[in-house]
Structure 1
C-alpha cells in the first residue's frame, strides 16, 4: 500500500500518531510530573476507546495477579463500584475522544482520583 492509498483510508492520519508511540512513550516516561498519593487506591479504572483503550487491557492483564481490582471501560459509564479509593486513568490519543471526555465530565464530582494521558 502506498502513502496515497493509506491517506485515502486514514484521512485523519492516525497512522502517524501510532508510528510515534515509542517516542511519545519515552518522552512521557522521562517527564518530571507531580507525584500524587495512591496508597489508598484499591481499584483502578482504565477508560479509553480504540487504540487509546488498549493500555487498559494490557494493564488489567499485568495487574490481574495483584491484590487490586482493575476495570476497563470502553464506553460512557464508570462502574458503580467507583469510590474515593478508586483511581480513574483516562486515555485519549487525540484528546477529543467523546466517551473519555464524557466519563470525566460526568464523574468530576465523585470522590475518585483522576489522571489523564493524551
Structure 2
C-alpha cells in the first residue's frame, strides 16, 4: 500500500513539474504568431540577421511589384500594414526580447520603389 502511495505521489510530482516547465516554455517562447517566410531562419547575430532580412526584402520586392501586391503579401504573412504611412511591422516576443521586422516603401503610380527593411530587438 505504501509503495502504491509513493508511486502515485512520484508520478503526480512528475506531471506537475512537467506542466510547470511546459507552461514556462510557452510563455518564454510562444509558438504564435508564426514567423513570416521572409523572416524565418535569419542569423542569430542581429547585424547579420538585418543584412539578410534586407537582402530578402530587396529580392522579393524588386522589379515591377505593385503596392497592392506588396500589401497583400505582407498582410497574408501576418504583418500589420499602415498603407498611408507605407510601412509594415511584424513583432514577436521571445523572452527576454521583443523582436520586430519592419518594411518601409515608396510608391509612384501604384509601383513600389525604394523598399527598406529593418530587423531588431528590444530586450530587458
Question: Going by fraction, where is helix more abundant, 1 or 2?
Answer: 2
Question: Going by fraction, where is strand more abundant, 1 or 2?
Answer: 2
Tell me the TM-score normalised to structure 2 length.
Answer: 0.25
Greater Rg by CA: 2
